[in-house]
Amino acid sequence: MNNKKYILKPGYVLREIAGEHLAIPVTAENSTDIVVLNPVSAILWTELETGKTLDELTDKICENFDINRDEAKADITEFIDSLVEKGVVE
- What kind and span of H or E run contains 64? helix 54-64
User: What pLDDT, on a 0 to 100 scale, did the predictor assign at position 34?
Assistant: 81
Q: Is the pLDDT of residue 1 over 60?
A: no
18-75, pLDDT tens digit by residue? 989 998 888 777 666 788 899 999 999 999 999 999 999 999 999 999 999 999 999 9
* Buried-state track 68-90, b at ≥16 Cβ within 10 A, e below 16: eeeebbebbeebbeebeeeebbe
User: What pLDDT, on a 0 to 100 scale, did the predictor assign at position 52?
Assistant: 97
What is the distance between the alpha carbons of residues 53 and 7, in angstroms, rounded to a whole number?
Answer: 9
Q: Is the pLDDT of residue 17 over 80?
A: yes
User: What pLDDT, on a 0 to 100 scale, did the predictor assign at position 53?
Assistant: 97
Residue 25, phi then psi, degrees to nearest 5: -70, 140
